[in-house]
Amino acid sequence: FRLALIQLHVSAVKSDNLQRACGLVREASAKGAKVVALPECFNSPYGTQYFKEYAENIPGESTQKLSEVAKECSIYLVGGSIPEEDGGKLYNTCTVFGPDGAMVAKHRKVHLFDINIPGKIQFKESETLSPGNSFSMFDTPYCKVGLGICYDLRFAEMAQIYGQKGCQLLIYPGAFNLTTGPAHWELLQRGRAVDNQVYVATVSPARDEKASYVAWGHSTVVNPWGEVIAKAGAEETVIYTDIDLKKLAEIRQQIPILSQKRCDLYGIEMKK
Whether residue 272 has pLDDT greater than 90? no
271 tagged catalytic: no
Strand-pair category, 121-124 with 89-97: unpaired
Whether residue 65 has pLDDT greater than 90? yes
Bridge partners for 36 per DSSP? 4, 77
CATH number belonging to domain 2-253: 3.60.110.10
Which residue in the list 56, 94, 109, 186 is annotated as catalytic? Answer: 109
pLDDT for 249 = 98
Structural element, H or E, at residue 126: none
Which residue in the list 22, 41, 73, 150 is annotated as catalytic? Answer: 150
Whether residue 119 has pLDDT greater than 90? no
pLDDT for 260 = 96
The three-class DSSP label of residue 54 is helix
Which residue in the list 14, 22, 34, 40 is annotated as catalytic? Answer: 40
Beta carbons of 149 and 130 less than 8 angstroms apart: no
Average pLDDT over every residue of 142-167: 98
40 tagged catalytic: yes
What are the tens digits of pLDDT across the range 30-50?
A: 999 999 999 999 999 998 899
Average pLDDT over every residue of 224-228: 98
109 tagged catalytic: yes
Average pLDDT over every residue of 128-150: 97
b/e 118-150 (16+ beta carbons within 10 angstroms → b): eeeeebebeebbbebeebbbbebebbebbbbbb
Task: Return d(Cα 184, Cα 172) in angstroms, integer.
Answer: 14
Task: Return d(Cα 129, Cα 109) in angstroms, integer.
Answer: 9
Beta carbons of 41 and 175 less than 8 angstroms apart: yes
From the list 147, 160, 35, 167, the residue with the least C-alpha distance to 95 is 147
- Exposed, middle or buried: residue 254 (CB in 10 Å: 0-12, 13-18, 19+)? exposed
pLDDT for 130 = 97
What are the tens digits of pLDDT across the range 69-82?
A: 999 999 999 999 99
Beta carbons of 189 and 222 less than 8 angstroms apart: yes
Prediction pTM value: 0.97
- What is the average pLDDT score of the chain? 96
- Exposed, middle or buried: residue 157 (CB in 10 Å: 0-12, 13-18, 19+)? exposed
Percentage of the residues of the chain whose pLDDT score is greater than 70: 100
- The upper half-sphere exposure of residue 157, i.e. CA atoms within 13 Å in the direction of its Cβ, equals 8
Is residue 120 very low, low, confident or very high in pLDDT (cuts 50, 70, 90)? confident
- Exposed, middle or buried: residue 232 (CB in 10 Å: 0-12, 13-18, 19+)? buried
Task: Return d(Cα 19, Cα 175) in angstroms, integer.
Answer: 21
The residue ranges of every structural domain in the chain are 2-253
